[in-house]
């Protein structure tokens, strides 16, 4: 790999076939961290491209991860000719606000893939992330009898450390930890955050304040959009992408959501009154569920009362009642809420299989 592009066939790791599914594309994006999928034919001729945002927009429209990508492919992507000087590639990226541009030969075959992060050096995004670490973790007893739940270890490292390292890897340099139950153990382990490459501030909850209530104690600590995540959520989500999406949509509060599918084990009889009008064999019901990861604007803090318990769904409903903008951010990345002992075992297995891995920090 040289300084400006993905060469020597490395770009092939980002390719998918035209008959691939959204799930195939999401797995491709996760494995390569290149933020683009190249849709090619059997001769490596470019058909189109798709990115993380295309997948999320498809999910918002009602597509499922088993849907074919032909419904979301960009068939007219920004491309360059092979051999185009890198300074012009950079100008193309800036002008079109894209982070990857494939280079094509005279027969429309992909010869290389230019990536913004290979052109521009990473830098801090100066954003903040608040990680809720004050819960008692009663469902995790006896593991949490003498250990705060975020400090339970996965592959020899506390869950909270995994979350902080992911955020720092994306350029977040300010971490806020609301703590309550056995909070001193968290302070003792993380200190001021210097060894993690971040500045860590602590908020002490005298009483448990819920997943949103602790934000009322932020004061003037944060003055621009920020990320909030539960301290027991392990995910491969890119926090920076979520924050960018939140800001681009001019949202007040954005909730990252997961698609949860449940198959009815029985055949469903469709009726109108007493009349049978149809049958559906073991239908699949699909819903968005709260992932426990959010992007918030500072304005929402005005709708919290100091030291008053509040959970995130209640805060979102409160904001809706005030006609503020609340939206969802559909996610396809690996995700696990470590709320039960069996979830901790699942987390161990997923990390062993390399399902959760750091994302390269990218800036534009």
3-state secondary structure string across 166-193: HHHHCCCCEEEEEECCCHHHHHHHHCCC
Q: 179: closest CA among 169, 167, 190?
A: 190
Tokens of 54: 């295309």
> Which pLDDT band holds residue 33 (cuts at 50, 70, 90)?
low
**Which segment of 90-94, 107-111, 271-275 scores lowest on mean pLDDT?**
90-94
Active-site positions?
A: 282
Considering the chain, tell me which residue range(s) the CATH 3.10.580.10 domain(s) occupy: 5-119
Per-residue model confidence (pLDDT) at position 315:
95
For the chain, give me the number of helices (H) and strands (E)? 10, 20
Q: Are strands 128-132 and 5-6 parallel, antiparallel or unpaired?
A: unpaired
The model's pLDDT over 160-215, given as tens digits with 9 standing for 90+, comes to 999 999 898 888 989 999 998 888 999 999 999 999 989 999 998 888 888 899 99
Given a cut of 50, whether residue 39 has pLDDT beyond it is yes
Q: 318: closest CA among 331, 300, 298?
A: 300
Per-residue model confidence (pLDDT) at position 157:
87
- Number of Cβ within 10 Å of residue 343's Cβ equals 16
Per-residue model confidence (pLDDT) at position 155:
81
Considering the chain, tell me which residue range(s) the CATH 3.90.550.10 domain(s) occupy: 128-352
CA separation for the pair 315, 320 (Å, rounded): 9
CA 335 to chain CA centroid, Å, is 9
CATH superfamily name and code, 5-119 = CBS-domain (3.10.580.10)
Given a cut of 70, whether residue 339 has pLDDT beyond it is yes
Per-position DSSP letters for 193-233, written without gaps between them: SGGGTSEEEEEE-SS--HHHHGGGG-TTS--S-EEEEETTE
Mean per-residue pLDDT, 77-92: 80
Q: In angstroms, what is the C-alpha Rg of the chain?
A: 22
CA separation for the pair 127, 109 (Å, rounded): 40
> Which pLDDT band holds residue 78 (cuts at 50, 70, 90)?
confident
Given a cut of 90, whether residue 297 has pLDDT beyond it is yes
Share above pLDDT 90 across residues of the chain, in percent, rounded to a whole number: 24
The domain defined by 128-352 folds into: Spore Coat Polysaccharide Biosynthesis Protein SpsA; Chain A (3.90.550)
> Which pLDDT band holds residue 348 (cuts at 50, 70, 90)?
confident
């Amino acid at each position: 790999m040289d300084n400006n592009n993905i060469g020597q066939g490395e770009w092939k790791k980002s390719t998918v076939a035209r008959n691939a599914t959204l799930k195939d594309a999401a797995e491709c994006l996760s494995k390569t961290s290149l933020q683009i999928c190249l849709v090619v034919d059997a001769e490596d001729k470019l058909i189109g491209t798709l990115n993380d945002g295309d997948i999320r927009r498809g999910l918002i429209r009602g597509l499922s991860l088993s849907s074919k990508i032909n419904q979301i492919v960009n068939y007219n992507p920004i491309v360059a000719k092979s051999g185009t000087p890198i300074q012009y590639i950079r100008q193309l990226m800036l002008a079109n606000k894209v982070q990857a541009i494939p280079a094509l030969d005279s027969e429309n075959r992909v010869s290389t893939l230019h990536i913004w992060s290979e052109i521009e050096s990473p830098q801090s995004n100066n954003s903040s992330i608040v990680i809720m670490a004050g819960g008692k973790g009663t469902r995790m007893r006896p593991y949490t009898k003498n250990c705060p739940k975020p400090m339970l270890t996965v592959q020899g490292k506390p869950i909270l450390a995994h979350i902080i390292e992911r955020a720092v890897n994306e350029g977040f340099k300010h971490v806020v930890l609301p703590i309550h139950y056995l909070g001193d153990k968290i302070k003792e382990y993380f200190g001021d955050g210097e060894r993690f490459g971040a500045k860590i501030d602590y908020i002490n909850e005298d009483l448990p304040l819920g997943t949103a209530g602790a934000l009322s104690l932020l004061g003037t600590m944060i003055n621009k959009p920020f990320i909030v995540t539960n301290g027991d959520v392990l995910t491969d989500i890119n926090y920076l992408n979520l924050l960018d999406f939140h800001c681009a949509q001019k949202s007040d509060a954005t909730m990252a959501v997961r698609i949860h599918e449940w198959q009815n084990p029985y055949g469903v009889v469709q009726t109108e009154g007493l009349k049978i009008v149809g049958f559906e064999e073991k239908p699949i019901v699909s819903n968005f569920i709260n992932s426990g990861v959010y992007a918030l604007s500072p304005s929402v803090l005005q709708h919290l009362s100091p030291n008053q318990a509040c959970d995130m769904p209640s805060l979102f409903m409160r904001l809706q009642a005030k006609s503020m903008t609340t939206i969802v951010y559909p996610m396809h990345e690996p995700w696990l809420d470590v709320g039960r002992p069996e979830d901790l075992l699942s987390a161990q297995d997923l990390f062993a299989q390399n399902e959760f891995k750091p994302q390269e920090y990218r800036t534009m």
